[in-house]
Amino acid sequence: MPSRPPTSRPHSGAKPGATREQTERRERFERARRESLRGDANGPVIIYGWHTVTAALRNPARNLRKLLVTENAARRLTEEGITASVAPEVVRPSAIAERLLPDAVHQGLYLETEPLPSPNVDELPAQGVVLVLDQITDPHNVGAIFRSASAFNATAIVTTQRHSPDATGALAKAASGALEHVPLINVQNLARGLAALKERGFLVVGLDSSGDSDLATLPLRAPLALVLGAEGKGLRQLTKETCDYVAKLDLPGEIKSLNVSNAAALGLYVAAAKLK
């Protein structure tokens, strides 16, 4: 009796009609999405994209591990006089794409580095404006917040060690180089972190649609900490209780809430105008 050919077992999560390559890419995407909030503590920070990688290459505080470049990207780096402390490896674009999530725009540059040093909240200069993030988990939103923080010359961003994305991958890409300019401070407990800021003289103002006052009408002063909560949930109750004020952004239109990254930019604008 002739033997049967081996039956191939479908990949977990495979969709009917999907090719093996499509299934593998889907599995890689799902695995990365599950791990996006907390990666390997000993693993490298992944940075890709032109602005993000070149900003990291210009930062002497970055300890580089590996740099992959396409021929076109290597030529552009040379033309712009951008060098790296590690020898770049020239590869095909697909060699970079296979290391990233589907649809990630790498522009021919991929960098692995050590994480940047994270100062202690007690070491934070008591000046300017600090952004505090209360369990904002979307890496694209946090990256966009970093970009606005850099544009408004914020002193730092404070977030929790848990329930927050790592400063790598999609977050770094959305930040577009801002990770090199705005320090990231991690605290174990947000309420205690806010209390430490208040001890250092910070005025702590939470931004929430349930706030009693308009941010623009408050007597703001520096040093100032603006606290933002996750979309949907907003600020947690203990966070609100720890703030000196809980304020809202008074919007004239029918929609009274903004995406948290837009709210951060508007809050920074209002604070900058009042602190001149």
CATH number at residue 257: 3.40.1280.10
Same domain, 133 and 234: yes
Same domain, 62 and 197: no
What is the structure's pLDDT at 243? 97
* Cα–Cα dist 231/245, whole Å: 19
Strands (E), 87-207: 89-90, 109-113, 129-134, 156-160, 184-187, 203-207
Q: Is residue 176 part of a domain?
A: yes
Same domain, 156 and 186: yes
Please give the share of the chain, as a percent, with pLDDT higher than 70. Answer: 85
Is the confidence at residue 16, as pLDDT, over 70? no
Q: Which two structure tokens, joined as six digits, stand for 117?
A: 């040093």
Q: Which two structure tokens, joined as six digits, stand for 9?
A: 């077992």
Same domain, 89 and 52: yes
What mean pLDDT value characterizes the chain? Answer: 88
Q: Is residue 99 part of a domain?
A: yes
Quickly count: other Cβ atoms within 10 Å of residue 258's Cβ: 17
Is the bond into 223 cis (omega within 30 degrees of 0)? yes
**Range 13-32 average pLDDT:** 56
Same domain, 104 and 128: no
What is the structure's pLDDT at 43? 76
Of the listed ranges 7-11, 56-60, 267-271, the one predicted with least confidence: 7-11
Same domain, 198 and 147: yes
What is the structure's pLDDT at 95? 96
Same domain, 65 and 158: no
**Range 83-109 average pLDDT:** 95
What is the structure's pLDDT at 1? 43
Q: Is residue 30 part of a domain?
A: no
What is the structure's pLDDT at 233? 83
CA distances from 191 to 182, 237, 239, 276 (A): 22, 10, 6, 29
Q: Which domain holds residue 107?
A: 45-113
What is the structure's pLDDT at 32? 46
Q: Which residues of 13-34 are buried (b: 16+ CB within 10 A; e: fewer)?
A: ebeeeeeeeebebbeeeeebee
Residue 134: band (very low, low, confident or very high) from pLDDT cuts 50, 70, 90: very high
Phi (first) and psi of residue 218, to 5 degrees: -75, 150
- Between 155 and 24, the more confident residue is 155
Kind and range of the H or E run holding 29: helix 20-35
Task: Specify burial of residue 164 (Cβ count, 10 A radius: 0-12, 13-18, 19+).
Answer: buried
pLDDT digits (tens, 9 = 90+) for 229-266: 987 789 999 999 999 999 999 988 988 889 999 999 99
**Range 113-127 average pLDDT:** 92
Same domain, 136 and 258: yes
Residue 210: band (very low, low, confident or very high) from pLDDT cuts 50, 70, 90: confident
Please give the share of the chain, as a percent, with pLDDT higher than 90. Answer: 73
Last residue of one domain, picked from the residues 55, 84, 113: 113
Q: What's the total number of domains in the chain?
A: 2
Count of residues making up the chain: 276
